[in-house]
Structure formats: C-alpha cells, structure tokens
Amino acid sequence: MLIALTFFVAGCATKPTPDDTSNGMTGNNAGQSSQGEVLQQKPSGLSEQDISEAEAAARAARAAEEAASTGLVRIHFEFDQYLLTPAAQKTLRNNAKLLSAAPAINVLIEGHCDERGSDGYNLALGEKRAMATKNYMVSLGVAASRLNIISYGEEIPLDPASTEEAWAKNRRAEFKVKR
C-alpha cells in the first residue's frame, strides 16, 4: 500500500511551468510550430505605422541593392536647380548603356531635394529633377515606358545633417529597379 501511495503522489506532482521567454519550447524547436515553420511574432512596443515604415525602408534598401547590382548610379543637382550638370549627363550616359544591355529592367527614378524650401516647393522640384533625368535617358534611347518617376522632395535624405555637404548629397535623382 505504501508503494502504491508513493507512485500516486509522484504522479500528481505539479509540472514545471514553461519559461515565459521560450513560449513553452526549448532547444532547437524554440520558435517553431509542429510543422517546423518559424513563428512570426510582432515585436512588442511597435505600432502598425512603425512596422509599415520599417517594411517600406527594407523594400527601399532591397531596391537600392538591386540598382547598385545593375551598376545604376545616382546623380546630383546644384542648389535649387533641375538642370543636368555635365557630370550628371556623363553618369546618365553610362546608366543608359547599362539599361540598353538589360532590356527587361524597368526603373523608378526618384527626385530628391535638401531640406531648404517648403514641402510643396521641394516636391515640385524633386519631380522636375526626376523628369529631367527621365527625359535625358529617353533622349539616349531608353524607352520611356521603362522609366517611371516619383518625387520625395526632402522626405528621404541621404544625410540628415543641416550642412552644405549634407544638402549637396540630398539633391539627387536615384534609380530603383522595379520588378
């Protein structure tokens, strides 16, 4: 009888509670479902807007990597200008050659500005920069249907500082490969 009681008490002992950090899983299976899929968890403290902005930044980074892998190079503009400098024209000639060699690639040309000026003014100037870039590329033989434009104005600076050097970096047109 004493032996049976010992087994009964041992069998009813409380089970250890899972550690809160492992979600009940340990070892190599932690963070996986029974089918082996990685569980997606929303990081705590992040709003939907934060997550959306992070996803947009990740997409932009991937597009920039793709543009860099094709060899497309950004161009820069003078203050309050959308006319192409001789250096920008040389860069665009090289970009046009690269696009001619890769006819399946379509490109989004982004117009950017520095922080000086109103939001509306900078959006309009960024659009003029993107359009001037597109028109020059079309004059070099790139099909207009392969080139789309957008203006971000001052919203996406390369350098957030408020210096002449930073502003010069931010006055640009960039090329993003579209899929």
In a domain, 141, yes or no: yes
Neighbours of 94 (CB within 10 A): 12
Q: Tell me: the pLDDT tens digits for 69-90?
A: 668 999 999 999 999 999 999 9
In a domain, 64, yes or no: no
Domain holding 84, by residue range, is: 72-178
The secondary structure of 142-161 as a DSSP string is --GGGEEEEEEETSS-S--S
* Residue with the two structure tokens 């996406």: 156
In a domain, 8, yes or no: no
In a domain, 143, yes or no: yes
CATH number of 173's domain: 3.30.1330.60
Rounded distance between C-alpha atoms, residue 10 and residue 16, angstroms = 13
Residue 131 pLDDT > 60:
yes
177 compared with 49, residue with greater pLDDT: 177
Residue 25 pLDDT level (bands cut at 50, 70, 90)? very low
Name the least confident of 3-12, 41-50, 52-61: 3-12
Give the chain's domain count.
1
In a domain, 7, yes or no: no
Residue 24 pLDDT > 60:
no
In a domain, 164, yes or no: yes
In a domain, 41, yes or no: no
pTM of the model: 0.64
In a domain, 4, yes or no: no
For residue 108, the model assigns a pLDDT of: 98
